[in-house]
Amino acid sequence: EAGVAQSPRYKIIEKRQSVAFWCNPISGHATLYWYQQILGQGPKLLIQFQNNGVVDDSQLPKDRFSAERLKGVDSTLKIQPAKLEDSAVYLCASSLLLNTEAFFGQGTRLTVV
């Protein structure tokens, strides 16, 4: 079974630029999560989708971050404009249903300079 796919693996941008990350969850998984993991810390949830609807975006900095999952499969996370403190690994995870195990992708490492 293929895992959660994320791209790109690495991205370096200057502050105030925009960036987008892409996630393809495990086939058939209805629930999708985006997490932010700052170096030396545990992952922090940014947004949770159930199919193409948002379940929880309470920790998403909505002034600069946006995410969508238009067809209930792939998802994109965008940052515009980026700040230095956005440097982190952005992890996508998916689960078959709301209350089943979440599987994580390898993440996208973002460096803002």
Partner 1 sequence: GENVEQHPSTLSVQEGDSAVIKCTYSDSASNYFPWYKQELGKGPQLIIDIRSNVGEKKDQRIAVTLNKTAKHFSLHITETQPEDSAVYFCAAPNYGGSQGNLIFGKGTKLSVKP
Site residues (vs partner 1, CB under 8 A): 4, 31, 33, 40-45, 48, 55-56, 91, 93-95, 98-107
Minimum CB distance to partner 1, residue 16 (Å) = 28
Minimum CB distance to partner 1, residue 23 (Å) = 11
| Residue placing its CB nearer to partner 1 in the complex, 14 or 97 | 97
| Residue placing its CB nearer to partner 1 in the complex, 29 or 81 | 29
Burial of 103 (0-12, 13-18, 19+ CB in 10 A): middle
Contact 100, 49 (CB under 8 A): no
- Provide φ and ψ at 31, rounded to 5°: -105, 135
